[in-house]
Amino acid sequence: MQFGAKGYSVKEFLMNILNGSAIGIVTVLIPGALLSLPLRLLAPYWQGAQLLMQGTLVSNAMMGMAVGVITATFFRFTPIQMASVGLATVFAGGVAKAGAGGKGLMLVGTGDIITMWITTAIAVALILWIGEKVKSYTILVIPALTLFVAGGIGATIYPYVTMITHYVGMVVEACITLQPLLMCILIAVLYAFLIMSPISPVGIALAISLSGIGSGAGNLGVCAAAFGFCIGGWRVNSIGTCLAHWIGSPKISMANFIAKPRTMLPIICTAIIMGACAAVFNVKGVPMSAGFGFSGFVGPVAALDNSSTGWTAMNTVFLFCLFSVVSAVLSYAFNYIFMDVLKLVKPEDYKLEIR
């Protein structure tokens, strides 16, 4: 089966959708991840910090646009077609909410990632099907048709798709009812998988109010995935691409994870130990912090804020080392074992193409 006149196979189509979605998500989250802590520290002394913090919120709200436009570039769409996919994805993603009394719209959060992914796929398939047929009428037909057909379908299924997030949240909640050590291990491993999927781990945390050591374990699981893909791909990816996994988000390699699940083998081992560390060292967090890992220092800062000993020098050094150095060392060790000793994974499995 092929899509459109350009003849994309089903595999190529899905990989392009996954790659575009992953890069779009990371693109909008990186400004907040990098700037949240510095701006938070500057806010009491510099009024402009508040304005810049609003900018990071706008960036998050435009996730649908970024996902749609960047995905469209993978299909070599025209500018009009790219913008059309982006508009449909924003419309369906659920980020726009009616204002008070039904007047106006407000941008709230980032929207539902799974709905964005489905809507983008529908919009791209629609344009591949009719794009060459409308020719000079593109400006009249493509934006409106994509918005109302692909966007309309996405907006209609949005309430039902978000139920998936709810059910995943129930799984996490069930883990929390177990004894702390096993619970933290399960959550760390689960969050290592969630960060590599279209599902937002932060959304899951907010949905079930994941806090305390559950949130801390989730962040350490994300660190395991981030450093796992960063170190696993250092032989085949550029330095910037490797660093983007833990400075930004490992979700950038979502397509690699889907295509080659064996890339998670060393990460699972790292996540097990990191989850145990969360229980042993009582690493805590809040729902909003779960899912960021080391990105933007969100994980360690939340752990410090919720620690019984607070921001002491020793506690600060310890937690930052746990979130970074320990994660990196474990990731290096397990990548060596699975790559060089057992030869179950290869460096090429972590190869990431960013255009």
What's the pLDDT tens digit per position in 326-351? Answer: 999 999 999 999 999 999 999 899 98
pLDDT the model gives residue 146? 94
Name 100's Cβ contacts closer than 8 Å, sequence gap at least 6. Answer: none
Say yes or no to pLDDT of 302 above 70.
Answer: yes
pLDDT the model gives residue 139? 83
pLDDT the model gives residue 11? 81
Q: Most confidently modeled of 172-176, 204-208, 281-285? A: 281-285
What's the pLDDT tens digit per position in 155-194? Answer: 999 988 888 777 776 777 677 777 789 989 999 999 999 8
Say yes or no to pLDDT of 3 above 60.
Answer: no
Mean pLDDT of 287-297: 79
Residues in the chain, overall count: 355
What's the pLDDT tens digit per position in 71-107? Answer: 999 999 999 999 999 999 999 988 888 776 667 777 7
CB-CB contact of 227 with 271 (8 Å): no
From 319, 316, 311, 330, select the one nearest 283 (Cα to Cα).
Answer: 319
What is the secondary structure of 252-303 as a DSSP string? GGHHHHHH-GGGGHHHHHHHHHHHHHHHHTT--B-TTTTT-TTGGGHHHHHH
Q: Give me the helices (H) in the chain, please.
A: 10-42, 48-61, 63-74, 79-93, 113-134, 138-145, 151-176, 180-194, 201-208, 213-232, 239-247, 254-259, 265-280, 298-305, 313-321, 327-336
Mean pLDDT of 29-55: 82
Measure the CA–CA gap between 229 and 295, rounded to whole angstroms.
Answer: 14
295: confidence class by pLDDT, cuts 50, 70, 90 = confident
Q: Most confidently modeled of 38-42, 145-149, 164-168, 206-210? A: 145-149
What is the secondary structure of 178-211 as a DSSP string? S-HHHHHHHHHHHHHHHTTSSS-HHHHHHHHT--
Return contacts of 276-280, CB within 8 angstroms, 24+ apart. 276/181, 276/184, 276/185, 277/220, 277/322, 277/326, 278/184, 278/188, 278/213, 278/216, 278/217, 278/220, 279/180, 279/181, 279/183, 279/184, 279/185, 279/213, 279/217, 280/181
237: confidence class by pLDDT, cuts 50, 70, 90 = confident
Regarding pTM above 0.75, the answer is no
Range in 34-38, 43-47, 195-199 the model is least confident about: 34-38
- Average pLDDT of the chain, as a whole number: 86
147: confidence class by pLDDT, cuts 50, 70, 90 = very high
Q: Name the residue with higher pLDDT: 353 or 251.
A: 251
- Amino acid of residue 188: A
